[in-house]
């Protein structure tokens, strides 16, 4: 008897390996995947602009890494006592304009260099809703946005009347992503792309509107996957919404998937997107990472010292067998026993 809907997840024809650079961009669910890959010692760079949700913002940011675009004071706005970029998350905002630009441009340069050597680009789209500056926005707030379609990637808690909310059409999504992909493949001919749609509900849009939004993203992504042989789809959205499909797999806000749900999605991701031998290595790395996070109640005991020495030897041996793994932090901890 089946208690879950079956789902067919095709494995990647050439799976992700530890030798691959992986760039991740998109919604907050991107960081669930990215943080785990980073913890497992994959070579990753995630969200150089910070968290992004809509296809227009994702496409624009990726194109800016290709150039790479260098931001100036004219690209920023001063709002809420901070210098901010409409194209970046508030983690880049700063009271000092020089420091704001320093952080943004350093991230741009790092993304440009990383993208040139990236083997896998993972894009997680969160919403088809985009926000554009309205005519009620102060004139100086229009700096840093396109004159024809002044969309913003982050609203920075500015007043609601400052923006016009727009549900992107499938044609608009296809055009934005298609143009972006052509430029990416010209810049990095060896690049492969995995699309996912975030299972996080954008409930502030409304339940019906959220479903319309997700539907447009899914339709557009599958159109593109069918067009390019270097594009693949991983069904994170379907795994949570259709396979798990229960509120016990959501956090208390009933919007974000909880630990059990994200762990389930990651298990499927590893099983279908990472090669068998690299998957075995990943399990060994996970054991060491978990041991590193162990908090002893009695650190001065012989038992804890034996624990440290045991894992020091295991870590040193794994690092010797696989020199590309950066286990310096773990090795230092097991050697000294301090944070």
Spans of the chain, pLDDT less than 70: 1-3, 144, 146-149, 337-339
Q: In 3D, which of 289, 269, 292 has the Cα closest to residue 279? A: 269
Inside any domain, residue 3: no
The reply to whether 264 and 299 lie within a common domain is no
* CA distances in angstroms from 22 to 176, 191, 329, listed in the order given: 22, 10, 21
The reply to whether 291 and 185 lie within a common domain is no
pLDDT tens digit sequence for 220-230: 999 999 999 99
Q: Domain boundary at 241, 274, 307, which?
A: 274
The reply to whether 200 and 284 lie within a common domain is no
Q: What is the structure's pLDDT at 201? A: 87
pLDDT tens digit sequence for 57-67: 999 999 999 98
Inside any domain, residue 10: no
Q: What is the structure's pLDDT at 139? A: 76
Inside any domain, residue 270: yes
The reply to whether 185 and 304 lie within a common domain is no
The reply to whether 240 and 327 lie within a common domain is no
The reply to whether 315 and 192 lie within a common domain is no
The reply to whether 173 and 37 lie within a common domain is yes
The reply to whether 97 and 174 lie within a common domain is yes
Q: In 3D, which of 338, 287, 283, 286 has the Cα closest to residue 310? A: 287
Q: What is the structure's pLDDT at 142? A: 73
CA angle 230, 236, 239 (to 5 degrees): 130
**Domains contained in the chain, number:** 2
Q: Domain boundary at 231, 246, 274, which?
A: 274
Report helix, strand or coil for 323. coil
Report helix, strand or coil for 78. strand
Q: Domain boundary at 274, 293, 320, which?
A: 274
pLDDT tens digit sequence for 134-154: 877 777 777 767 665 578 888
The reply to whether 335 and 314 lie within a common domain is yes
The reply to whether 162 and 286 lie within a common domain is no
Inside any domain, residue 16: no
Q: What is the structure's pLDDT at 100? A: 96
- Residue 40: both structure tokens together: 């497992």
The reply to whether 58 and 137 lie within a common domain is yes
The reply to whether 246 and 114 lie within a common domain is yes
Residues 6 or more apart whose Cβ sits within 8 Å of residue 82: 90, 93, 94, 95, 100, 156
Region of residue 337 (phi > 0: left; psi between -120 and 50: alpha; otherwise: beta): left
Q: What is the structure's pLDDT at 337? A: 53
* Residues forming a β-bridge with 45: 23
Q: What is the structure's pLDDT at 138? A: 78
pLDDT tens digit sequence for 288-301: 999 998 888 888 88
The 3 state secondary structure assigned to 206-256 is CHHHHHHHHHHHHHHHHHHHHHCCCEEECCHHHHHHHHHCCHHHECCCCCC
CATH number (domain holding residue 30)? 3.40.50.1110
Q: Which domain holds residue 335?
A: 276-339
């Amino acid at each position: 008897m089946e208690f879950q809907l079956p789902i067919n997840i095709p494995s990647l024809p050439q799976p992700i390996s530890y030798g691959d650079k992986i760039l991740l961009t998109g919604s907050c669910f991107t960081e669930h995947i990215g943080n785990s890959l980073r913890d497992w010692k994959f070579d990753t760079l995630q969200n150089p602009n910070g968290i992004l949700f809509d296809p227009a913002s994702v496409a624009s940011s990726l194109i800016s890494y290709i150039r790479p675009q260098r931001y100036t004071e004219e690209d920023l706005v001063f709002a809420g006592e901070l210098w901010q970029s409409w194209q970046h998350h508030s983690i880049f905002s700063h009271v000092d304009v020089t420091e704001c630009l320093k952080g943004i441009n350093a991230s741009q340069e790092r993304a440009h260099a990383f993208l040139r050597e990236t083997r896998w680009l993972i894009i997680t789209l969160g919403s088809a809703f985009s926000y554009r500056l309205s005519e009620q926005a102060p004139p100086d707030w229009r700096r840093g946005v396109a004159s024809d379609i002044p969309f913003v990637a982050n609203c920075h808690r500015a007043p609601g009347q400052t923006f016009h909310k727009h549900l992107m059409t499938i044609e608009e999504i296809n055009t934005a992503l298609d143009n972006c992909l052509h430029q990416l493949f010209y810049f990095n001919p060896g690049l492969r792309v995995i699309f996912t749609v975030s299972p996080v509900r954008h409930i502030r849009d409304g339940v019906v509107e959220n479903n319309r939004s997700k539907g447009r993203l899914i339709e557009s992504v599958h159109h593109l996957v069918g067009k390019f042989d270097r594009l693949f789809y991983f069904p994170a959205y379907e795994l949570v919404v259709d396979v798990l499909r229960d509120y016990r797999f959501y956090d208390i806000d009933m919007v974000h998937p909880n630990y059990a749900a994200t762990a389930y999605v990651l298990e499927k991701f590893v099983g279908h997107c990472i090669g068998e031998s690299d998957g075995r290595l990943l399990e060994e790395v996970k054991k060491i990472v978990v041991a590193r996070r162990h908090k002893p109640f009695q650190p001065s005991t012989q038992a804890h010292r034996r624990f440290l020495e045991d894992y020091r030897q295991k870590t040193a041996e794994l690092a010797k067998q696989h020199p590309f793994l950066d286990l310096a932090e773990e090795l230092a901890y097991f050697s000294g026993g301090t944070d």
